[in-house]
Amino acid sequence: MNQLTFGDSEYGVKRKQTRRELFLAEMEKVVPWDALLALIAPVYPKGGNGRPPYPLQTMLRIHLMQNWFGYSDPAMEEALYEVTPVRKFAGLSLTQALPDETTILNFRRRLEVNELAPKLLATVNAHLGQRGLLLRSGTIVDATIIHAPSSTKNQDKARDPEMHQTKKGNQYYFGMKAHIGVDAEGGLVHTVTTTAANAADVTQAANLLHGEEQWVFGDAGYTGVDKRQEPAERQVTWHIAQKRSKVQAIADAKLKRMVTKLERHKASIRARVEHPFRVIKRQFGYVKVRFRGLAKNTAQIITLFALSNLWMARHKLLAMTGQLRP
């Protein structure tokens, strides 16, 4: 057991819990720690003649906090020194050596090299599925643009070659797209792909299906998906939004009202796909890519969506264990 410093002792008797503390307390109870540790353990060093590695659970907790709070590697190291709730969640104390930014970087790279992010998402979803929170009858597909630095004032004197510019409405964006397939009942993400920002949404539709859904909802960006070769073998019913101009062009007033009502109903179902985007962008503060290239950013995005699933399902998970916070 770690020895408490005077600062930690004073912290323990304070009367008010901060939002960060409440958040970490909830995540402590809903993250499937044993399953995630078992996933990473085979690729984590066991130690040798040199300095023993930090406990795997400590490094996993630090990695998750990096994603929750948007810390860079140096900022994560400083937070372990400066922020008591962060240090306590990692199971560390100021009386011992704390992981430096290089150690934190190496752990993240180990997950990237071994392509564990998709398995992390699958592990989280298996945990949710066992509790009846992830159904498989329907899927909603959508995409969002993640900005990337457009400046060429860097060492290479160039933009990231794997990112691209695209136009949405009257605005130009530079970056990548995160494409997701979401459970139509609970709004939880089951599939994630990424592309440069100029890739059409419809090109990723088939890759966002898990294979057991009976129907799929998508916005007008997926128009014509049922005629493409990729999803031809999928036995699903596509419910794609009609383009606004097409609805407005209907001359028959009665038919136009019926079509408008149908489109509103489809939109009410599609709205669930926006919740994961809100969580990673507003709750976790992920609005711009942190790395160069698609591979590293894809690993982080998949991890973020796995964590967003736990965040959105936390109240139900806590209720199942009888630990729901009043």
pLDDT at position 14, please? 63
Strands (E), the chain: 138-147, 164-168, 171-183, 189-196, 215-218, 237-240
Q: Hey, which residues does 217 pair with through a beta bridge?
A: 140, 239
pLDDT at position 1, please? 43
Dist. CA 235–CA 38, nearest whole Å: 35
> What is the CB neighbour count within 10 angstroms for residue 149?
15
pLDDT at position 165, please? 94
As given in the structure block, the two tokens for residue 23 are: 């958040």
pLDDT at position 326, please? 42
Token look-up 């085979």 returns 42
> What is the CB neighbour count within 10 angstroms for residue 188?
25
pLDDT at position 241, please? 95
DSSP string, 119-153: HHHHHHHHHHHHTT----SEEEEEEEEEE------
pLDDT at position 7, please? 55
Q: Which fold has domain 136-306?
A: Nucleotidyltransferase; domain 5 (3.30.420)
pLDDT at position 4, please? 52
pLDDT at position 157, please? 81
pLDDT at position 48, please? 66
Write down the domain spans for the chain.
Answer: 6-113, 136-306
**pLDDT, averaged in runs of 10, over the chain (326 residues):** 55 76 96 98 84 93 97 97 96 94 97 97 96 92 95 84 91 96 95 96 94 93 87 82 91 93 95 96 95 95 98 94 59
